[in-house]
Amino acid sequence: MTARGTRRPMGVSARVGVALVVLGVVMYVAPQFVASNRLAVLGWTVAPVEAWLAPRDKAAPAGGVDSALIAPAVPSGSTWVPVLDVRLKFGTLVIGAGSESGIELGEAVTFADALVGFVDRVELHVARVQLLTDDEASVAVIAADSRPASSGAIVRRIGLLKGANPPRLVKSPMPEAFVVGDALVTVGGEGSRVPERLLVGHISVAGPVPSVKLAADPTAVGQVVVRQQLKSQSALFHDEAVTISAYPLTRVGEALVRGSGLRDACPGLALTHGGRFLGRIIETSDSAARVSLVTDIGHEVIVRWVDELGQTGSGTLTATLDGLYDLTVIAGQAPGFPMQASTAGGQALIPQGLAVGRLVPEGGRWRLIAQPHIPRHAVIPIFLEIPAWRKLHPDGRRG
């Protein structure tokens, strides 16, 4: 008889031991696999019941964007550039033009005639702007009504604006000469990269070290001006079609979307349909993403509006209970009449000009008329310069 034929079957204790080892390996590996592929696993789980969970494919009304929400006319010899992201915590924003378009280090960036900051890092198609709220920022300023003395010197009403929140006026020979409301403009001049007499802000608190309220609030602008004619700018977004697999996904709301192109996505991108803003990505995997919807309680989106009197402004819309929204004004006057709102841009890669909808006042809050239907199919505008964006904002990693 061969050795094979004489081999004894494995005993019970040995089998139990092997089973325990296998079980231990599975218990160790499975949680790590599930944790690293949580959204994909969720997608597999949802797939068998998608017919019940998935929304109907209704057309979401685009709502349209009023022409008054479009940025002002560009100053002569200048170019509007989209703001792709704002990081007030770090005192920076990212703009959608880089070295290929002619952007250079130290370039002044404005909104209309108000100074926003200076380019401090340049990639091929994107650049980072150091805001005047950054601790390292500084610019020489004078009071707008200052004029040189007969000797050509400006003594009393000049100083250095030092970045902070709020910025401060330092190194002024006579700081007490500034009073609340005084407008400050850039000194500029020959040999300077800073144009002359750009509006910087107004004195908000007088004293030995006056405080300054900036004229350009970076959270309120979706586009900024570079004061040169740029070369052709590369397309920065491409539309990726996705399927909304499940809604609502949680008690709060949310949605699970799936698509082969999501490997290039990152948290912060918008979910859109028919030119309307539906929400933004808060977590991604290679094939699925979790989305916070504009109707979810606590969802925030920065908008620009125009009301029935033609007055414009910007602020943060926050979804509350029963389809109502709180509005925190960033710029302009609080509206008192029904208004049309669109995305302001600059908020975690959400493009400017996506329609949010028409809002009417109700009990100190705002009701969104014709809340968006959640369709079966939607679009995510995916930012093409994700690697460059992460280099400019190292904390912008996958959620």
CB atoms within 10 A of CB 248: 16
User: What is the per-residue pLDDT across 178-202, written as a single tens digit (0 to 9) for each?
Assistant: 889 999 999 877 667 788 889 999 9
3-state helix, strand, coil in the chain (%, to 5): 20, 35, 45
Average pLDDT score, the chain: 80
Task: In the chain, count H helices and then E strands.
Answer: 5, 24
Q: CA of 153: how far to CAs of 157, 158, 160, 209, 257, in Å?
A: 11, 10, 16, 22, 64
- pLDDT score of 333: 82
**How many Cα atoms occupy the beta-carbon half-sphere of 30 within 13 Å?**
6
The CATH class that applies to domain 78-228 reads mainly beta
User: What is the per-residue pLDDT across 217-244, written as a single tens digit (0 to 9) for each?
Assistant: 877 677 888 988 887 777 778 889 999 9
Report which DSSP code applies to 347.
Answer: B
Show pLDDT as tens, one digit a residue, over the chain (399 residues): 444 455 556 566 666 666 666 666 555 555 555 455 666 666 665 555 555 556 665 544 545 555 555 556 677 788 888 888 888 888 898 898 899 899 999 999 998 789 999 999 998 888 999 999 999 999 999 998 865 555 555 456 888 999 988 899 988 887 778 889 999 999 877 667 788 889 999 999 988 899 999 998 877 677 888 988 887 777 778 889 999 988 888 888 899 999 988 887 888 899 999 889 999 999 988 889 999 999 999 999 999 898 888 888 888 999 998 889 999 998 788 888 999 999 987 776 788 888 999 999 999 999 999 878 889 999 998 877 777 777 777 654 333
Q: CA of 24: how far to CAs of 12, 29, 30, 33, 296, in Å?
A: 18, 9, 10, 14, 41
If DSSP codes are grouped into helix, strand and coil, which group holds residue 219? helix
**Under 8 Å between Cβ of 43 and 256:** yes
Q: Are strands 114-122 and 270-273 parallel, antiparallel or unpaired?
A: unpaired
Name the residue ranges covered by the structural domains of the chain.
45-74+233-399, 78-228
Q: CA of 157: how far to CAs of 30, 146, 181, 202, 286, in Å?
A: 68, 6, 14, 13, 57
The one-letter amino acid code at 132 reads L
User: What is the per-residue pLDDT across 263-316, written as a single tens digit (0 to 9) for each?
Assistant: 878 888 999 998 899 999 999 888 899 999 999 999 999 998 988 888 888 889
d(CA 65, CA 88): 27
d(CA 119, CA 92): 9
- pLDDT score of 290: 93
